[in-house]
Chain A
Amino acid sequence: MTQLQTRSARSAARDRRREDAARRHRTPLGTRMRREWRMYALILPGLLFFLLFAYVPILGNVVAFQAFSPFLGIEGSPWVGFDNFVRIVSDPEVVRAVVNTIQIAVLQIVFSFPAPILLALLLNSLLSSRVKRVVQSIVYLPHFISWVIVISIWQQILGGAGPVAGLFESLGVDGVNIMSNPDTFKLLVTSQVIWKDIGWGTIIFFAAIAAIPQELYEAAAVDGAKPWRQTWHVTLPGLVPVISLLLVLTVGNVLTVGFEQLLLQQPIVGADAAQVIDTFVYFRGVVGGDWGISAAAGLIKGVIGTLLVLGANRLAKRMGTEGVL
């Protein structure tokens, strides 16, 4: 695509937005609501759901400013100002947890985010739709297995008593235990995420690929484009809106790198490698009964997540895609 085209596409999008806005403001909201009250009533259940289960609970964050005890409740627990935040920042354990979290997050964005896209492209290039469907079913099954089972399976295969260790042993290398090596643990975690969720992740990309008009491929073929070129110039550009949307959402969750998965494996590789923000919050807040500090950590995480989503969204818009908000 040339620069000129990009610019004209961008200005077209801008014009469209302006038109939409103009149309919206022609009649006042109250009038529209009265006229279309049935349609607006449909919003109610969803609105109630979010109010009750997402917005009201946000109020619970005041616990972050208290020395909270469940029996005393919010009314009875003493207020401590920013004490909990100060304690978080001054705890050396937190530094380690944040570093680990960021390392794992980067690995997940670099490796496990693009994995389903590549798999979708690969499967899409298969000719036999039957094979395609069978493979798709098989790769998305692990998504439904709980982490306890996943880790158990991995340990059976890659653990010290598993076939992989046996293979190394027969080659004369003793004591290979991939599951308990703290140095490679973060790669292991990323591999597990890819194995578990790659198939599930392809579903949305398949839908996006199916929505790409067939004529574009035909036109490309007429122009002499081989399959590789078609993928590069037709399929990938067709996927860009979905990719950017998912990336924005993923970035918002970047500090949530997996709780059960890490909690279960932490005793095996040690806290040096496997302590992340969520497990810290768990050990300190839930196990240790320090609800204030865990609410404070959750609040910080939530604020950072929101900022990242907004930032990523702005970036996505600047790069010419629609973004989320």
Chain B
Amino acid sequence: MSHTNPLHDVQLTRRTALGLGIGGLAAMALAACSPGGASTQAARSELLLPTFRAQRAADATAIVSQVAGVQPVYTSYPASYWTSVAAAPGRGGELKTFQMLYFSPPAPLESNPFWQELNKRINADFKPSYASGDNYDAKVATTLAGGTLPDIMYLRDEVPAVQQAIQAGAFADLSDALGGDAVLEYPNLANLETHAWRNSAKGNRIMGVPRTSPRVTACPVIRTDLMEAVGVTGQPADAAAFADVLAEIAKLGEHAGRRVWAVGGLGTGQIQLLSRWMFGAGADWTLGSGGSLVNTIETDEFEATMEYLADLWKRNVFHPDAIALGSDSQRSKEKQLWLEGQIAFELDDPAWLSSQGMLQVEESTSGARVGYLTPPGHDGGDIVVQAGPGYGGFDGISASAAKDPNRLAELLRFLDWWAAPFGTEENLFIGGSGLEGYNYTFGPGKQIVSTGDATALANLQGLKWLGVTAPPYIMLNNENAGRADGLVAQMEYLTKAAVDSPVVGLTSTTQTSRGAQLTQINDDYRNKIVSGKLSVSAIKDWRSDWRKAGGDQVKADYRKLLDERK
């Protein structure tokens, strides 16, 4: 192919790819037999939530917050493990799944001790198929088009193909099997937070078992050694004080022989999010007077956030490539700069930061210390944080597999087994540690010591990620144990400030189809205003462009769905 037209091989390749894309569609469509019995699902009149019944706590030292929605932080491994599922969930048949593979693929069953043990423990022939993080959309669309669906599928409900399939009845409505006290058949599922069930329901139906997540999943941290280098200790009192700290750190230019910047990228989920919290523009949607929906960009608070960021830009707080580093595709690069000790501010998942991220910076950079940054209200008052939906996708059960009530019960037992909480035998095995003697050994004080066998780790990681998992917790032991109190205090502070989005759990079809374009508009205007190419007053054009590109329609969609939910 390339010999006929080497000069434009790139284009040809791309055209071929496009052709294959369309070809793929055709193949998919040709292969798709219309799924029998699938009918479009209308909303149920009322949502029957599964009864919540907490499971036993783990036999380990933990800081358990009194603030609802803050995940427990363990500082030691359990002294003993208990069994939450009495009998193996399976009946000896196959279990086909569609799940995530974030790591290298596991070895085949014959040469994979973890897999063999897994089959034994669940009494089933476990047959996963995979999507990786970046090809999920395409893979799930192909799988859905393939006709016969795997028994259990990990579903990201923001993906259009998934929404369409749910709407078309591809997955079983679990409302009867799990609603109310029916869930008590599956004690580990009854242990999942109620708001995750509520928010993941579709049209008042339970369409899957949610992968639960804490109320707040973002946590800002800062290099305290750099703060001290500019003569600041303690948390900033207000937004202006925080800006001063950043500007002073930026002026350092170099610290301990390394080029340092205060902030890396102009990221939507990083510095912009923090600034929105400080200025009270944290919630994506709010209910205005008279019950009208207001998007954050339409608020004065958001305008003040933009002004603040533009001021930071003027004061050279950002890395020179901040706009590039703030884009999704370069997030890993920004993270690398942070891990190499070149950036003072970071905002990410609290579990990752506390157990790995902060430690890695302190180890890579001599003299570096990282502490939690407690963001102040812009005037020293309160902040507004948007609470997460409490779940990140859910496991749906194929409608055709669920026709047989015995099979449905078996499939739910598998999910129950996977959802076993921290401190159980099941969680020790499937939740991350794996097989004793293969993946880990018990050290002194029942400490879990990894065998350091990379193949064993790959064999475990490749199989365990079904979606449903134990309720979230954080393990901070050894060198990280000292962070536990700070982390809990930080998460309590952020969680108390968290507000629910009025549209959480609702799916606007316009948001699905136009979301990417709306994000583009938001990012483009944000970048231009903050970097000084446009003045802050251009936010008027921003809002009107956003409305015209679908914002108004999204609003109308949500309005309609809100009225239906009443």
Which positions in A face B, CB cutoff 8 Å?
A: 53-54, 56-61, 63, 68-76, 93, 113, 116, 143, 148, 152, 155, 159-161, 165, 175, 177, 179-180, 193, 196-197, 200-201, 203-204, 246, 249-250, 253, 256, 258-260, 264, 266-268, 270-272, 275, 278, 283-284, 286-291, 295, 298
Partner of B7, one of A69, A177, A197: A197
Inter-subunit contact B26/A56 (CB<8 Å)? yes
The answer to whether the Cβ of B512 comes within 8 Å of any Cβ in the partner chain is yes
Which positions in B face A, CB cutoff 8 Å?
A: 4-12, 14-15, 17-20, 22-30, 32-35, 137-138, 141-142, 144-145, 147, 159-161, 163-165, 168, 170, 319-324, 326-329, 333, 512-517, 520-521, 523-524, 527-528, 549
Inter-subunit contact B513/A203 (CB<8 Å)? no
With both chains docked as a complex, state the minimum distance between the C-beta of A55 and any C-beta of chain B, in angstroms.
10
List the A residue with the shortest CB-CB distance to B35: A71
Inter-subunit contact A69/B165 (CB<8 Å)? yes
Given A267-B327, A288-B513, A71 contacting B9 (CB threshold 8 A): no
Given A197-B10, A249-B8, A298-B22, A73 contacting B321 (CB threshold 8 A): no
Given A76-B34, A253-B8, A289-B161, A160 contacting B513 (CB threshold 8 A): no
Inter-subunit contact B527/A60 (CB<8 Å)? no
User: With a CB–CB cut-off of 8 A, which chain A residues contact B523?
Assistant: 267, 270
Inter-subunit contact B23/A180 (CB<8 Å)? no
Partner of A204, one of B7, B17, B512, B527: B7
Inter-subunit contact B19/A155 (CB<8 Å)? no
Inter-subunit contact A161/B321 (CB<8 Å)? yes
Partner of A249, one of B5, B27, B144, B517: B5
Inter-subunit contact A180/B516 (CB<8 Å)? no
Inter-subunit contact B165/A270 (CB<8 Å)? no
- Separation of A140 and B538 alpha carbons in the complex (Å): 45
Inter-subunit contact B161/A57 (CB<8 Å)? no
For the complex with contacts A69-B168, A288-B515, 10 further pairs of A-B residues with Cβ separation under 8 Å are: A54-B23, A57-B20, A58-B26, A73-B29, A197-B8, A200-B6, A249-B8, A267-B328, A275-B520, A289-B159
Inter-subunit contact A180/B324 (CB<8 Å)? yes
- Separation of A124 and B515 alpha carbons in the complex (Å): 52
User: With a CB–CB cut-off of 8 A, which chain B residues contact A70?
Assistant: 25, 28-29, 32, 141-142, 144-145, 161, 164-165
Please list the 8 inter-chain residue pairs (A to B) with the smallest Cβ-Cβ separation, ordered nearest first.
Answer: A289-B160, A160-B320, A60-B26, A57-B23, A73-B32, A267-B327, A201-B7, A74-B29
User: With a CB–CB cut-off of 8 A, which chain A residues contact B514?
Assistant: 288
User: With a CB–CB cut-off of 8 A, which chain A residues contact B15?
Assistant: 253, 256
List the A residue with the shortest CB-CB distance to B18: A298
Inter-subunit contact A160/B161 (CB<8 Å)? no
List the B residue with the shortest CB-CB distance to A72: B168
User: With a CB–CB cut-off of 8 A, which chain B residues contact A298?
Assistant: 18, 22
Inter-subunit contact B6/A71 (CB<8 Å)? no
List the B residue with the shortest CB-CB distance to A148: B329
List the A residue with the shortest CB-CB distance to B10: A197
User: With a CB–CB cut-off of 8 A, which chain A residues contact B327?
Assistant: 267-268
Partner of A69, one of B10, B147, B161, B520: B161
Given A69-B165, A71-B145, A288-B516, A56 contacting B23 (CB threshold 8 A): yes
Most buried by A among B7, B138, B141, B319: B7
Partner of A284, one of B11, B24, B168, B517: B517
- Separation of A157 and B26 alpha carbons in the complex (Å): 43
Inter-subunit contact B329/A267 (CB<8 Å)? yes
- Separation of A249 and B20 alpha carbons in the complex (Å): 19
User: With a CB–CB cut-off of 8 A, which chain A residues contact B142?
Assistant: 70
User: With a CB–CB cut-off of 8 A, which chain B residues contact A249?
Assistant: 4-5, 8
- Separation of A246 and B6 alpha carbons in the complex (Å): 9
List the A residue with the shortest CB-CB distance to B31: A73
User: With a CB–CB cut-off of 8 A, which chain A residues contact B323?
Assistant: 180, 267-268
With both chains docked as a complex, state the minimum distance between the C-beta of B282 and any C-beta of chain A, in angstroms.
23
Inter-subunit contact B516/A283 (CB<8 Å)? yes
Inter-subunit contact A165/B320 (CB<8 Å)? yes
With both chains docked as a complex, state the minimum distance between the C-beta of B358 and any C-beta of chain A, in angstroms.
24
A-B contact pairs, 28 of them (CB 8 A): A56-B23, A57-B27, A60-B27, A70-B29, A70-B32, A71-B32, A71-B145, A71-B161, A73-B28, A74-B29, A74-B32, A143-B9, A159-B324, A160-B320, A200-B6, A201-B6, A204-B6, A253-B12, A258-B11, A267-B327, A270-B523, A271-B520, A271-B521, A278-B14, A283-B517, A289-B164, A289-B512, A295-B25
With both chains docked as a complex, state the minimum distance between the C-beta of B552 and any C-beta of chain A, in angstroms.
15
User: With a CB–CB cut-off of 8 A, which chain B residues contact A286?
Assistant: 137-138
Given A53-B23, A284-B516, A289-B163, A256 contacting B328 (CB threshold 8 A): no
Partner of A287, one of B23, B137, B521: B137
- Separation of A193 and B515 alpha carbons in the complex (Å): 30
Most buried by B among A116, A256, A267: A267
With both chains docked as a complex, state the minimum distance between the C-beta of A157 and any C-beta of chain B, in angstroms.
12
